[in-house]
Amino acid sequence: QVQLVESGGGVVQPGRSLRLSCAASGFTFPDYGIHWVRQAPGKGLEWVALISYDGNNQYCTDSVKGRFTLSRDNSKNMVFLQMNNLRAEDTAVYYCAKSGESKNLFQHWGQGTLVIVSS
């Protein structure tokens, strides 16, 4: 079955960097785009970014442009979210999600990893 496992979260000071990983299994990884969606404590869902199936295209929300970048290693079924210049408002649980019938649909989700940006 489809499995997505995030890792790399933790507590980091404002302005510092963190790299999240998403390990995938149970599907043909190179065929699907992978999204990151975040959820601040007690709040709703916010889409963060998408990397296309081949890694050649990335899309992200305005609030992270220039600070967050995505990459993927299709030989290892991994996606990475590099987060630089972190801000307090980036504090959230970060989920990776596999696209579905549409590339912008979140068909399967990981359990999430918590990022806390605090001094």
Partner 1 sequence: DIVMTQSPDSLAVSLGERATINCRSSQSVLHSSNNKKYLAWYQQKPGQPPKLLIYWASTRESGVPDRFSGSGSGTDFTLTISGLQAEDVAVYYCQQYYNTPLTFGGGTKVEIK
Q: Which residues contribute to the site for partner 1 (CB under 8 A)?
A: 35, 37, 44-47, 50, 59, 61-62, 95, 100-102, 104-112
Q: How far apart are CB 16 and partner 1 at their closest, in Å? A: 25
Give the torsion sign (CA, 81, 84, 90, 93). positive
* Residue number with CB closer to partner 1 (3 or 15): 3
- Shortest gap between Cβ of 50 and partner 1 (angstroms)? 7
Count of residues in the chain: 119
In b/e form, how buried is each residue of 92-112, taking b as 16+ CB within 10 angstroms? bbbbbbbbeeeeeebebebeb
Nearer to partner 1, 35 or 72 (CB): 35
Residues forming a β-bridge with 5:
23
Q: In the structure encoding, which two tokens stand for residue 99, read together?
A: 């696209």
CA 66 – CA 82 distance, rounded (Å):
11
Least distance from partner 1 to the Cβ atom of residue 69, Å: 16
By beta-carbon proximity to partner 1, the closer residue of 29 and 95 is 95
Q: How far is the CB of 45 from partner 1 (least distance, A)?
A: 5
- Of the pair 33, 117, the CB lying nearest partner 1 is at 33
